[in-house]
Structure 1
Protein backbone atom coordinates (compact mmCIF):
# COMPACT_ATOMS: atom_id res chain seq x y z
CA UNK A 1 0.00 0.00 0.00
CA UNK A 2 2.81 2.40 0.91
CA UNK A 3 4.49 1.64 -2.40
CA UNK A 4 1.30 2.46 -4.28
CA UNK A 5 0.90 5.77 -2.40
CA UNK A 6 4.54 6.63 -3.09
CA UNK A 7 4.20 5.90 -6.82
CA UNK A 8 1.00 7.98 -7.05
CA UNK A 9 2.67 10.88 -5.19
CA UNK A 10 5.66 10.81 -7.54
CA UNK A 11 3.37 10.73 -10.56
CA UNK A 12 1.28 13.64 -9.27
CA UNK A 13 4.40 15.67 -8.47
CA UNK A 14 5.80 14.99 -11.92
CA UNK A 15 2.56 15.97 -13.60
CA UNK A 16 2.33 19.19 -11.55
CA UNK A 17 5.98 20.12 -12.28
CA UNK A 18 5.48 19.39 -15.96
CA UNK A 19 2.33 21.52 -15.99
CA UNK A 20 4.23 24.43 -14.38
CA UNK A 21 7.00 24.12 -16.95
CA UNK A 22 4.50 24.03 -19.80
CA UNK A 23 2.67 27.04 -18.35
CA UNK A 24 5.93 28.97 -18.05
CA UNK A 25 6.88 28.08 -21.63
CA UNK A 26 3.44 29.16 -22.81
CA UNK A 27 3.78 32.52 -21.04
CA UNK A 28 7.22 33.06 -22.58
CA UNK A 29 5.93 32.17 -26.03
CA UNK A 30 2.98 34.55 -25.61
CA UNK A 31 5.33 37.35 -24.50
CA UNK A 32 7.61 36.74 -27.49
CA UNK A 33 4.62 36.65 -29.83
CA UNK A 34 3.31 39.92 -28.40
CA UNK A 35 6.74 41.53 -28.81
CA UNK A 36 7.01 40.34 -32.41
CA UNK A 37 3.49 41.59 -33.12
CA UNK A 38 4.40 44.98 -31.65
CA UNK A 39 7.58 45.11 -33.74
CA UNK A 40 5.59 44.20 -36.85
CA UNK A 41 2.99 46.87 -36.09
CA UNK A 42 5.67 49.57 -35.79
CA UNK A 43 7.50 48.62 -38.99
CA UNK A 44 7.62 51.23 -41.74
CA UNK A 45 7.12 54.97 -41.70
CA UNK A 46 5.55 56.80 -38.79
CA UNK A 47 4.69 60.44 -39.53
CA UNK A 48 3.21 63.18 -37.41
CA UNK A 49 3.46 66.85 -36.63
CA UNK A 50 1.61 70.08 -36.22
CA UNK A 51 1.43 73.65 -37.47
CA UNK A 52 0.69 76.29 -34.83
CA UNK A 53 -0.09 79.99 -35.09
CA UNK A 54 0.67 81.92 -31.91
CA UNK A 55 -0.82 85.34 -31.21
CA UNK A 56 -0.53 87.79 -28.33
CA UNK A 57 -1.52 91.41 -27.91
CA UNK A 58 -1.44 94.26 -25.40
CA UNK A 59 -3.61 97.35 -25.90
CA UNK A 60 -4.15 100.55 -23.85
CA UNK A 61 -6.51 103.44 -24.46
CA UNK A 62 -5.50 107.09 -24.11
CA UNK A 63 -6.85 107.33 -20.54
CA UNK A 64 -4.83 104.39 -19.19
CA UNK A 65 -2.61 105.79 -16.39
CA UNK A 66 -0.59 102.65 -15.63
CA UNK A 67 1.70 103.11 -18.59
CA UNK A 68 2.57 100.71 -21.35
CA UNK A 69 2.93 100.53 -25.13
CA UNK A 70 0.34 98.82 -27.29
CA UNK A 71 1.88 95.90 -29.16
CA UNK A 72 0.90 92.94 -31.27
CA UNK A 73 2.89 89.81 -32.10
CA UNK A 74 2.33 86.65 -34.06
CA UNK A 75 4.37 83.64 -35.15
CA UNK A 76 3.87 80.57 -37.33
CA UNK A 77 5.62 77.32 -36.42
CA UNK A 78 6.09 73.83 -37.86
CA UNK A 79 7.19 70.74 -35.91
CA UNK A 80 7.16 67.56 -38.00
CA UNK A 81 8.60 64.07 -37.45
CA UNK A 82 8.94 61.26 -39.97
CA UNK A 83 10.57 58.14 -38.54
CA UNK A 84 11.28 54.75 -40.11
CA UNK A 85 11.76 51.36 -38.46
CA UNK A 86 12.40 47.93 -39.98
CA UNK A 87 14.21 45.03 -38.33
CA UNK A 88 17.48 46.34 -36.90
CA UNK A 89 17.19 49.71 -38.64
CA UNK A 90 15.80 52.99 -37.25
CA UNK A 91 15.83 56.32 -39.07
CA UNK A 92 14.49 59.39 -37.22
CA UNK A 93 13.95 62.74 -38.94
CA UNK A 94 12.65 66.05 -37.56
CA UNK A 95 11.92 69.42 -39.18
CA UNK A 96 11.44 72.53 -37.03
CA UNK A 97 10.60 75.90 -38.53
CA UNK A 98 9.22 79.13 -37.10
CA UNK A 99 8.83 82.75 -38.11
CA UNK A 100 7.43 85.60 -36.02
CA UNK A 101 6.82 89.36 -36.20
CA UNK A 102 6.23 92.01 -33.53
CA UNK A 103 4.67 95.45 -33.95
CA UNK A 104 5.02 98.14 -31.28
CA UNK A 105 2.83 101.23 -31.52
CA UNK A 106 4.71 104.01 -33.29
CA UNK A 107 7.52 101.72 -34.46
CA UNK A 108 8.25 99.58 -37.51
CA UNK A 109 7.44 95.89 -37.50
CA UNK A 110 10.43 93.72 -36.49
CA UNK A 111 11.27 90.04 -36.61
CA UNK A 112 10.81 88.21 -33.31
CA UNK A 113 11.49 84.60 -34.35
CA UNK A 114 13.20 82.98 -37.32
CA UNK A 115 14.67 79.50 -37.58
CA UNK A 116 14.77 76.50 -39.87
CA UNK A 117 16.29 73.22 -38.66
CA UNK A 118 16.49 69.66 -39.98
CA UNK A 119 17.85 66.70 -37.99
CA UNK A 120 18.35 63.16 -39.28
CA UNK A 121 19.55 60.21 -37.19
CA UNK A 122 20.17 56.79 -38.72
CA UNK A 123 20.84 53.76 -36.51
CA UNK A 124 21.52 50.05 -36.81
CA UNK A 125 20.99 47.73 -33.85
CA UNK A 126 24.08 46.90 -31.80
CA UNK A 127 23.34 43.79 -29.72
CA UNK A 128 20.13 43.08 -27.80
CA UNK A 129 19.72 46.30 -25.79
CA UNK A 130 18.73 49.84 -26.73
CA UNK A 131 22.05 50.74 -28.39
CA UNK A 132 22.54 51.41 -32.11
CA UNK A 133 25.47 52.27 -34.33
CA UNK A 134 24.47 55.66 -35.67
CA UNK A 135 25.10 58.46 -38.12
CA UNK A 136 23.98 61.96 -37.19
CA UNK A 137 23.20 64.93 -39.45
CA UNK A 138 21.96 68.39 -38.48
CA UNK A 139 21.38 71.53 -40.54
CA UNK A 140 20.07 74.88 -39.31
CA UNK A 141 19.78 78.37 -40.67
CA UNK A 142 17.27 81.25 -40.82
CA UNK A 143 14.78 82.40 -43.47
CA UNK A 144 14.91 86.19 -43.31
CA UNK A 145 17.35 89.05 -42.73
CA UNK A 146 18.36 90.04 -39.22
CA UNK A 147 19.31 93.55 -38.07
CA UNK A 148 21.30 94.89 -35.14
CA UNK A 149 18.72 96.39 -32.73
CA UNK A 150 21.07 99.28 -31.83
CA UNK A 151 22.40 100.32 -35.25
CA UNK A 152 19.84 98.85 -37.67
CA UNK A 153 22.65 97.34 -39.75
CA UNK A 154 21.91 93.99 -41.44
CA UNK A 155 23.92 91.28 -39.68
CA UNK A 156 22.42 88.08 -41.16
CA UNK A 157 20.10 86.69 -43.81
CA UNK A 158 19.06 83.35 -45.33
CA UNK A 159 21.97 80.85 -45.23
CA UNK A 160 24.14 83.40 -43.43
CA UNK A 161 24.87 81.91 -41.05
CA UNK A 162 24.15 78.26 -41.81
CA UNK A 163 25.39 75.38 -39.66
CA UNK A 164 25.94 71.80 -40.78
CA UNK A 165 27.00 68.89 -38.51
CA UNK A 166 27.52 65.24 -39.41
CA UNK A 167 29.35 62.25 -37.98
CA UNK A 168 29.25 58.64 -36.71
CA UNK A 169 28.42 57.65 -33.16
CA UNK A 170 26.32 55.54 -30.83
CA UNK A 171 22.62 55.99 -30.27
CA UNK A 172 20.72 54.95 -27.13
CA UNK A 173 17.03 54.89 -27.97
CA UNK A 174 14.38 53.82 -25.49
CA UNK A 175 11.52 55.09 -27.65
CA UNK A 176 10.68 57.88 -30.09
CA UNK A 177 10.23 60.12 -27.02
CA UNK A 178 13.53 59.30 -25.27
CA UNK A 179 16.90 59.03 -27.02
CA UNK A 180 20.52 60.12 -26.71
CA UNK A 181 23.16 60.17 -29.45
CA UNK A 182 26.91 60.43 -28.79
CA UNK A 183 29.07 61.33 -31.81
CA UNK A 184 32.77 61.71 -30.85
CA UNK A 185 33.99 62.39 -34.42
CA UNK A 186 31.66 65.06 -35.79
CA UNK A 187 32.49 67.51 -38.56
CA UNK A 188 30.92 70.96 -38.41
CA UNK A 189 30.76 73.57 -41.17
CA UNK A 190 29.72 77.20 -40.69
CA UNK A 191 28.72 79.14 -43.81
CA UNK A 192 28.28 82.92 -44.07
CA UNK A 193 28.22 85.31 -47.03
CA UNK A 194 31.59 87.01 -47.47
CA UNK A 195 30.09 90.52 -47.31
CA UNK A 196 29.56 89.91 -43.57
CA UNK A 197 33.29 89.19 -43.12
CA UNK A 198 34.70 92.10 -45.15
CA UNK A 199 35.52 94.16 -42.05
CA UNK A 200 36.15 91.35 -39.56
CA UNK A 201 35.14 87.88 -38.46
CA UNK A 202 31.48 86.89 -38.21
CA UNK A 203 29.95 83.83 -36.50
CA UNK A 204 33.44 82.35 -36.12
CA UNK A 205 34.31 82.70 -39.83
CA UNK A 206 37.55 84.63 -40.33
CA UNK A 207 37.74 87.97 -42.11
CA UNK A 208 37.48 87.66 -45.91
CA UNK A 209 36.31 84.04 -45.79
CA UNK A 210 32.87 82.47 -46.21
CA UNK A 211 33.18 79.21 -44.27
CA UNK A 212 34.78 77.61 -41.23
CA UNK A 213 35.50 73.93 -40.57
CA UNK A 214 35.45 72.38 -37.09
CA UNK A 215 36.02 68.84 -35.87
CA UNK A 216 34.82 67.69 -32.47
CA UNK A 217 32.33 65.77 -30.35
CA UNK A 218 28.56 66.18 -30.40
CA UNK A 219 25.94 65.04 -27.90
CA UNK A 220 22.25 65.22 -28.82
CA UNK A 221 19.37 64.36 -26.49
CA UNK A 222 15.60 64.31 -26.93
CA UNK A 223 12.96 63.80 -24.24
CA UNK A 224 9.22 64.35 -24.57
CA UNK A 225 6.90 63.74 -21.64
CA UNK A 226 3.36 64.39 -20.49
CA UNK A 227 3.41 66.50 -17.32
CA UNK A 228 -0.31 65.90 -16.84
CA UNK A 229 -3.38 65.40 -18.97
CA UNK A 230 -3.28 67.70 -22.04
CA UNK A 231 0.11 69.19 -21.04
CA UNK A 232 3.22 67.96 -22.86
CA UNK A 233 6.84 69.12 -22.76
CA UNK A 234 9.42 68.54 -25.48
CA UNK A 235 13.12 68.95 -24.62
CA UNK A 236 15.90 69.07 -27.21
CA UNK A 237 19.57 69.42 -26.18
CA UNK A 238 22.56 69.78 -28.51
CA UNK A 239 26.14 70.09 -27.25
CA UNK A 240 29.29 70.47 -29.36
CA UNK A 241 32.98 70.75 -28.48
CA UNK A 242 35.51 71.73 -31.14
CA UNK A 243 38.76 69.74 -30.72
CA UNK A 244 40.64 72.17 -32.98
CA UNK A 245 39.96 75.41 -31.09
CA UNK A 246 39.13 75.90 -27.40
CA UNK A 247 37.46 72.53 -26.76
CA UNK A 248 36.53 73.68 -23.24
CA UNK A 249 34.10 76.22 -24.75
CA UNK A 250 31.16 73.93 -25.41
CA UNK A 251 28.44 75.15 -27.78
CA UNK A 252 25.00 74.72 -26.15
CA UNK A 253 21.59 74.71 -27.80
CA UNK A 254 18.64 73.85 -25.54
CA UNK A 255 15.05 74.06 -26.73
CA UNK A 256 11.87 73.51 -24.73
CA UNK A 257 8.38 73.43 -26.21
CA UNK A 258 5.48 73.31 -23.75
CA UNK A 259 1.97 72.71 -25.10
CA UNK A 260 -1.13 73.09 -22.91
CA UNK A 261 -4.11 71.90 -24.93
CA UNK A 262 -7.53 73.47 -24.51
CA UNK A 263 -9.07 71.30 -27.22
CA UNK A 264 -8.09 69.76 -30.54
CA UNK A 265 -7.40 73.11 -32.19
CA UNK A 266 -6.69 75.60 -29.38
CA UNK A 267 -3.71 75.55 -27.02
CA UNK A 268 -1.41 77.75 -24.99
CA UNK A 269 2.18 77.35 -26.13
CA UNK A 270 5.49 78.27 -24.52
CA UNK A 271 8.74 78.06 -26.48
CA UNK A 272 12.11 78.61 -24.79
CA UNK A 273 15.57 78.44 -26.31
CA UNK A 274 19.00 79.09 -24.78
CA UNK A 275 22.04 79.33 -27.05
CA UNK A 276 25.72 79.63 -26.24
CA UNK A 277 28.31 79.87 -29.00
CA UNK A 278 31.40 81.93 -28.18
CA UNK A 279 32.17 82.28 -31.90
CA UNK A 280 28.93 84.22 -32.39
CA UNK A 281 28.59 85.92 -28.98
CA UNK A 282 30.38 85.31 -25.69
CA UNK A 283 27.16 85.12 -23.70
CA UNK A 284 23.91 83.17 -23.57
CA UNK A 285 21.31 84.10 -26.17
CA UNK A 286 17.78 83.61 -24.81
CA UNK A 287 14.55 83.37 -26.80
CA UNK A 288 11.10 82.96 -25.23
CA UNK A 289 7.72 82.92 -26.98
CA UNK A 290 4.37 82.65 -25.20
CA UNK A 291 0.94 82.90 -26.71
CA UNK A 292 -2.43 81.45 -27.55
CA UNK A 293 -2.07 78.91 -30.30
CA UNK A 294 -4.28 77.66 -33.12
CA UNK A 295 -3.08 74.13 -33.95
CA UNK A 296 -3.46 71.87 -36.94
CA UNK A 297 -2.17 68.34 -36.48
CA UNK A 298 -1.31 66.01 -39.34
Structure 2
Protein backbone atom coordinates (compact mmCIF):
# COMPACT_ATOMS: atom_id res chain seq x y z
CA UNK A 1 0.00 0.00 0.00
CA UNK A 2 2.91 2.39 0.65
CA UNK A 3 4.01 2.05 -2.96
CA UNK A 4 0.53 2.92 -4.29
CA UNK A 5 0.31 5.93 -1.96
CA UNK A 6 3.67 7.16 -3.23
CA UNK A 7 2.56 6.81 -6.86
CA UNK A 8 -0.73 8.58 -6.11
CA UNK A 9 1.05 11.40 -4.29
CA UNK A 10 3.50 11.86 -7.16
CA UNK A 11 0.62 12.03 -9.64
CA UNK A 12 -1.23 14.58 -7.50
CA UNK A 13 1.87 16.78 -7.29
CA UNK A 14 2.31 16.65 -11.08
CA UNK A 15 -1.34 17.54 -11.69
CA UNK A 16 -1.33 20.30 -9.10
CA UNK A 17 1.87 21.79 -10.46
CA UNK A 18 0.58 21.92 -14.03
CA UNK A 19 -2.84 23.25 -13.05
CA UNK A 20 -1.42 26.09 -10.94
CA UNK A 21 1.54 27.12 -13.02
CA UNK A 22 1.10 29.10 -16.24
CA UNK A 23 3.77 28.02 -18.73
CA UNK A 24 5.71 30.84 -20.38
CA UNK A 25 4.50 31.79 -23.83
CA UNK A 26 6.60 30.57 -26.72
CA UNK A 27 7.15 33.79 -28.61
CA UNK A 28 9.16 32.07 -31.37
CA UNK A 29 6.22 29.77 -32.28
CA UNK A 30 8.74 27.16 -33.43
CA UNK A 31 8.22 24.79 -30.49
CA UNK A 32 5.09 22.77 -29.72
CA UNK A 33 5.05 21.18 -26.27
CA UNK A 34 2.32 18.89 -24.99
CA UNK A 35 1.91 15.77 -22.91
CA UNK A 36 -0.15 13.85 -20.43
CA UNK A 37 0.15 12.37 -16.94
CA UNK A 38 -1.88 9.19 -16.36
CA UNK A 39 -2.57 7.35 -13.11
CA UNK A 40 -4.34 4.00 -13.49
CA UNK A 41 -5.63 1.63 -10.83
CA UNK A 42 -7.47 -1.68 -11.01
CA UNK A 43 -8.66 -3.99 -8.27
CA UNK A 44 -10.34 -7.39 -7.93
CA UNK A 45 -11.88 -8.74 -4.74
CA UNK A 46 -13.69 -12.03 -4.04
CA UNK A 47 -15.59 -13.29 -1.00
CA UNK A 48 -17.32 -16.69 -0.96
CA UNK A 49 -17.21 -16.59 -4.75
CA UNK A 50 -18.19 -20.04 -6.05
CA UNK A 51 -16.12 -19.75 -9.23
CA UNK A 52 -13.03 -18.81 -7.24
CA UNK A 53 -10.62 -15.92 -7.72
CA UNK A 54 -7.60 -14.15 -6.24
CA UNK A 55 -7.78 -10.71 -4.66
CA UNK A 56 -5.49 -8.29 -6.43
CA UNK A 57 -4.70 -4.59 -6.76
CA UNK A 58 -2.47 -2.73 -9.20
CA UNK A 59 -1.45 0.88 -9.78
CA UNK A 60 0.44 2.45 -12.70
CA UNK A 61 1.70 5.92 -13.55
CA UNK A 62 2.76 7.02 -17.04
CA UNK A 63 4.26 10.40 -17.94
CA UNK A 64 4.24 11.04 -21.70
CA UNK A 65 5.62 14.31 -23.12
CA UNK A 66 6.26 15.61 -26.65
CA UNK A 67 8.67 18.44 -27.53
CA UNK A 68 8.44 19.24 -31.26
CA UNK A 69 10.28 21.91 -33.26
CA UNK A 70 9.40 23.11 -36.76
CA UNK A 71 11.08 25.90 -38.77
CA UNK A 72 11.16 26.01 -42.55
CA UNK A 73 12.33 22.67 -43.95
CA UNK A 74 13.69 21.52 -40.57
CA UNK A 75 11.78 19.60 -37.89
CA UNK A 76 12.85 17.97 -34.63
CA UNK A 77 10.39 15.67 -32.86
CA UNK A 78 11.14 14.45 -29.33
CA UNK A 79 9.15 12.16 -27.05
CA UNK A 80 9.87 11.22 -23.43
CA UNK A 81 7.97 8.43 -21.65
CA UNK A 82 8.39 7.31 -18.04
CA UNK A 83 6.21 4.53 -16.69
CA UNK A 84 6.13 2.54 -13.46
CA UNK A 85 3.58 0.18 -11.96
CA UNK A 86 3.08 -2.26 -9.10
CA UNK A 87 0.64 -5.11 -8.54
CA UNK A 88 -0.17 -7.34 -5.59
CA UNK A 89 -2.02 -10.63 -5.25
CA UNK A 90 -2.79 -12.53 -2.07
CA UNK A 91 0.31 -14.47 -1.05
CA UNK A 92 2.73 -12.91 -3.55
CA UNK A 93 3.46 -9.43 -2.20
CA UNK A 94 4.21 -6.40 -4.35
CA UNK A 95 5.73 -6.95 -7.79
CA UNK A 96 6.26 -4.45 -10.57
CA UNK A 97 4.20 -4.74 -13.76
CA UNK A 98 5.66 -1.77 -15.64
CA UNK A 99 9.07 -0.10 -15.57
CA UNK A 100 10.39 1.95 -18.49
CA UNK A 101 12.25 5.06 -19.50
CA UNK A 102 12.01 5.85 -23.22
CA UNK A 103 13.53 8.77 -25.11
CA UNK A 104 12.88 9.19 -28.85
CA UNK A 105 14.33 11.91 -31.07
CA UNK A 106 13.90 12.43 -34.82
CA UNK A 107 15.65 15.23 -36.69
CA UNK A 108 14.29 15.76 -40.20
CA UNK A 109 14.85 17.89 -43.28
CA UNK A 110 11.98 18.16 -45.73
CA UNK A 111 12.63 16.37 -49.05
CA UNK A 112 9.07 16.57 -50.46
CA UNK A 113 5.56 17.05 -49.12
CA UNK A 114 5.56 13.95 -46.91
CA UNK A 115 9.15 12.67 -47.14
CA UNK A 116 12.11 13.71 -44.96
CA UNK A 117 15.80 12.98 -44.68
CA UNK A 118 16.26 12.02 -41.04
CA UNK A 119 18.59 11.18 -38.20
CA UNK A 120 16.97 9.38 -35.31
CA UNK A 121 17.85 8.25 -31.79
CA UNK A 122 16.08 5.91 -29.38
CA UNK A 123 17.11 5.20 -25.77
CA UNK A 124 15.44 2.77 -23.38
CA UNK A 125 16.15 1.53 -19.86
CA UNK A 126 14.32 1.08 -16.53
CA UNK A 127 14.17 2.48 -12.98
CA UNK A 128 14.52 -0.59 -10.74
CA UNK A 129 15.63 -4.23 -10.68
CA UNK A 130 13.44 -6.90 -12.27
CA UNK A 131 13.01 -10.50 -11.15
CA UNK A 132 11.67 -13.80 -12.45
CA UNK A 133 9.63 -15.76 -9.87
CA UNK A 134 9.22 -19.53 -9.71
CA UNK A 135 6.21 -21.43 -8.36
CA UNK A 136 7.60 -21.27 -4.81
CA UNK A 137 8.09 -17.51 -4.91
CA UNK A 138 11.88 -17.68 -5.22
CA UNK A 139 13.18 -14.88 -7.41
CA UNK A 140 16.03 -14.57 -9.91
CA UNK A 141 17.47 -11.23 -10.97
CA UNK A 142 16.92 -10.72 -14.71
CA UNK A 143 17.29 -6.94 -15.19
CA UNK A 144 18.35 -3.72 -13.45
CA UNK A 145 18.79 0.01 -14.15
CA UNK A 146 21.04 0.29 -17.23
CA UNK A 147 20.96 -3.49 -17.48
CA UNK A 148 19.89 -3.37 -20.13
CA UNK A 149 20.01 0.11 -21.61
CA UNK A 150 19.58 0.23 -25.38
CA UNK A 151 20.75 3.11 -27.57
CA UNK A 152 19.89 3.02 -31.28
CA UNK A 153 20.74 5.78 -33.75
CA UNK A 154 21.40 6.38 -37.42
CA UNK A 155 20.55 8.31 -40.60
CA UNK A 156 17.61 7.42 -42.79
CA UNK A 157 14.42 8.69 -44.36
CA UNK A 158 10.84 9.03 -43.17
CA UNK A 159 7.30 9.25 -44.46
CA UNK A 160 5.27 11.59 -42.24
CA UNK A 161 1.65 12.19 -43.21
CA UNK A 162 0.86 13.78 -39.83
CA UNK A 163 1.80 13.58 -36.15
CA UNK A 164 -0.47 10.52 -35.99
CA UNK A 165 1.08 8.61 -38.91
CA UNK A 166 4.80 8.33 -39.57
CA UNK A 167 7.38 5.70 -40.56
CA UNK A 168 11.14 6.10 -40.24
CA UNK A 169 13.59 3.70 -41.92
CA UNK A 170 17.32 3.68 -41.23
CA UNK A 171 19.39 1.30 -43.40
CA UNK A 172 22.57 2.09 -41.41
CA UNK A 173 21.65 2.08 -37.72
CA UNK A 174 23.98 1.40 -34.80
CA UNK A 175 22.58 -0.31 -31.70
CA UNK A 176 24.45 -0.40 -28.39
CA UNK A 177 23.24 -2.62 -25.54
CA UNK A 178 24.64 -1.69 -22.11
CA UNK A 179 24.61 -4.11 -19.14
CA UNK A 180 26.05 -2.30 -16.12
CA UNK A 181 25.02 -4.88 -13.50
CA UNK A 182 28.01 -7.13 -12.71
CA UNK A 183 26.03 -10.31 -12.03
CA UNK A 184 24.07 -9.99 -15.26
CA UNK A 185 27.05 -9.09 -17.43
CA UNK A 186 29.05 -12.01 -15.98
CA UNK A 187 26.53 -14.52 -17.39
CA UNK A 188 26.22 -12.76 -20.75
CA UNK A 189 22.70 -11.39 -20.32
CA UNK A 190 21.11 -9.52 -23.24
CA UNK A 191 23.64 -10.85 -25.73
CA UNK A 192 26.85 -9.35 -24.28
CA UNK A 193 29.99 -11.47 -24.08
CA UNK A 194 30.21 -12.85 -20.48
CA UNK A 195 32.15 -10.34 -18.41
CA UNK A 196 31.65 -7.50 -20.89
CA UNK A 197 29.38 -4.52 -20.22
CA UNK A 198 28.23 -3.68 -23.75
CA UNK A 199 27.30 -5.11 -27.15
CA UNK A 200 27.62 -3.24 -30.45
CA UNK A 201 25.38 -4.06 -33.41
CA UNK A 202 25.07 -2.50 -36.85
CA UNK A 203 22.07 -3.01 -39.08
CA UNK A 204 18.74 -1.64 -40.28
CA UNK A 205 15.84 -0.31 -38.24
CA UNK A 206 12.23 0.65 -38.78
CA UNK A 207 10.11 2.78 -36.44
CA UNK A 208 6.40 3.29 -37.17
CA UNK A 209 3.62 5.13 -35.35
CA UNK A 210 -0.09 5.20 -36.16
CA UNK A 211 -2.96 6.57 -34.09
CA UNK A 212 -6.59 6.66 -35.18
CA UNK A 213 -9.90 7.63 -33.60
CA UNK A 214 -12.14 4.55 -33.78
CA UNK A 215 -15.25 6.38 -32.57
CA UNK A 216 -15.83 9.51 -30.55
CA UNK A 217 -13.66 9.49 -27.38
CA UNK A 218 -11.97 6.17 -28.26
CA UNK A 219 -8.55 6.15 -29.93
CA UNK A 220 -6.25 3.30 -30.97
CA UNK A 221 -2.47 3.76 -30.92
CA UNK A 222 0.10 1.48 -32.60
CA UNK A 223 3.89 1.64 -32.11
CA UNK A 224 6.24 -0.73 -33.97
CA UNK A 225 10.04 -1.04 -33.77
CA UNK A 226 12.08 -3.50 -35.85
CA UNK A 227 15.85 -4.04 -35.95
CA UNK A 228 18.04 -6.43 -37.96
CA UNK A 229 21.73 -6.88 -37.13
CA UNK A 230 23.86 -7.13 -40.28
CA UNK A 231 26.85 -8.43 -38.29
CA UNK A 232 25.21 -11.56 -36.87
CA UNK A 233 22.14 -13.57 -37.93
CA UNK A 234 20.31 -10.71 -39.71
CA UNK A 235 17.27 -12.96 -40.01
CA UNK A 236 16.75 -12.87 -36.22
CA UNK A 237 14.84 -9.59 -36.12
CA UNK A 238 14.20 -7.67 -32.91
CA UNK A 239 10.54 -6.66 -32.71
CA UNK A 240 8.71 -4.43 -30.23
CA UNK A 241 5.01 -3.80 -30.88
CA UNK A 242 2.69 -1.83 -28.59
CA UNK A 243 -1.06 -1.37 -28.99
CA UNK A 244 -2.96 1.03 -26.73
CA UNK A 245 -6.66 1.86 -26.55
CA UNK A 246 -7.65 5.09 -24.81
CA UNK A 247 -11.30 5.52 -23.81
CA UNK A 248 -12.17 9.01 -22.60
CA UNK A 249 -14.95 9.28 -20.00
CA UNK A 250 -14.58 13.02 -19.36
CA UNK A 251 -11.80 15.62 -19.21
CA UNK A 252 -9.89 13.74 -16.49
CA UNK A 253 -11.19 10.16 -16.27
CA UNK A 254 -10.03 7.57 -18.82
CA UNK A 255 -10.06 3.80 -19.28
CA UNK A 256 -6.84 2.50 -20.87
CA UNK A 257 -5.88 -0.91 -22.20
CA UNK A 258 -2.41 -1.80 -23.45
CA UNK A 259 -0.64 -4.79 -25.01
CA UNK A 260 3.09 -5.01 -25.71
CA UNK A 261 4.85 -7.85 -27.57
CA UNK A 262 8.66 -8.11 -27.66
CA UNK A 263 10.74 -10.62 -29.56
CA UNK A 264 14.44 -10.14 -28.77
CA UNK A 265 17.02 -12.75 -29.87
CA UNK A 266 19.51 -11.32 -27.33
CA UNK A 267 17.22 -11.67 -24.31
CA UNK A 268 16.87 -15.09 -22.72
CA UNK A 269 14.72 -15.74 -19.67
CA UNK A 270 15.06 -18.59 -17.13
CA UNK A 271 12.62 -21.49 -17.63
CA UNK A 272 12.24 -24.41 -15.22
CA UNK A 273 12.27 -27.80 -16.91
CA UNK A 274 12.35 -31.01 -14.81
CA UNK A 275 13.97 -29.10 -11.96
CA UNK A 276 16.66 -27.64 -14.22
CA UNK A 277 16.85 -23.95 -15.12
CA UNK A 278 17.27 -23.35 -18.84
CA UNK A 279 17.49 -20.04 -20.67
CA UNK A 280 15.42 -19.43 -23.80
CA UNK A 281 14.53 -16.50 -26.04
CA UNK A 282 10.74 -16.32 -25.78
CA UNK A 283 8.03 -13.93 -26.93
CA UNK A 284 7.55 -11.37 -24.15
CA UNK A 285 3.96 -10.29 -23.51
CA UNK A 286 2.71 -7.48 -21.26
CA UNK A 287 -0.93 -6.47 -20.77
CA UNK A 288 -2.24 -3.53 -18.75
CA UNK A 289 -5.85 -2.49 -18.19
CA UNK A 290 -7.20 0.08 -15.79
CA UNK A 291 -9.29 3.15 -15.14
CA UNK A 292 -7.83 6.33 -13.79
CA UNK A 293 -7.00 9.99 -14.14
CA UNK A 294 -5.31 11.56 -17.17
CA UNK A 295 -4.24 15.20 -17.24
CA UNK A 296 -3.33 16.60 -20.67
CA UNK A 297 -1.68 19.90 -21.52
Same fold (TM over 0.5): yes
Structure with the largest fraction of helix? 1
Runs of 4+ that moved beyond 4 A: none
Q: Deviations over 1:51-71 (max 9, x none)?
A: 11111111112x332211111
Contact 1:50 1:80 in 2 (8 A): yes
Alpha-carbon distance in structure 2 between the residues aligned to 1:233 and 1:198: 38
Contact kept in structure 1, 2:62 and 2:81, CA below 8 Å: yes
**Corresponding residue for residue 221 of structure 1:** 208
Alpha-carbon distance in 2 for matches of 1:179, 1:198: 36
Q: 1:198 to 1:121 in 2, by over 3 A?
A: closer
Equivalences for residues 71-82 of structure 1 within 5 A: 71-82=56-67
Q: 1:197 deviation in Å?
A: 4.1
Q: Which of these two proteins has the greater Rg computed from alpha carbons?
A: 1
1:196, CA displacement in angstroms?
A: 2.8
Aligned residues: 256
Cα distance in 1 between the residues matched to 2:183 and 2:120 = 29
Helix, strand or coil: the match of 1:109? strand
Matches within 5 A, 1:36-55: 44-55=30-41
**Unpaired stretches in structure 1, ≥5 consecutive residues:** 1-41
* Shift of residue 198, structure 1, vs aligned partner: 5.7
1:202-241 pair list within 5 angstroms: 202-241=189-228
Give yes or no for contact 1:90–1:122 (8 Å, CA) kept in 2: yes
Whole-angstrom CA distance in 1 between matches of 2:96 and 2:53: 21
Any conservation in 2 of the 1:197–1:205 contact (CA below 8 Å)? no
| Contact 1:194/1:209 (8 A) holds in 2 | no
Report the counterpart of residue 293 of structure 1 in structure 2.
Answer: 292
Distance in 2 between the 1:70 and 1:206 partners? 42
CA distance in 1, matches of 2:62, 2:125: 15
Q: What is aligned with 1:144?
A: 128
Worse overlay, 198-207 or 266-275: 198-207
2: CA distance between counterparts of 1:66 and 1:148?
29
Aligned equivalents of 2:58 and 2:113: distance in 1? 47
Where do 5+ consecutive residues of structure 2 fail to align?
1-27, 269-280
Specify whether residues 71 and 91 from structure 1 end up closer, same or farther in structure 2 by C-alpha distance, changes over 3 A only: same
Q: Deviations over 1:221-251 (max 9, x none)?
A: 1111111100111111110000001000110
Correspondent of 2:246 among 259, 276, 294: 259
Distance 1:224 1:197 in 2: 37
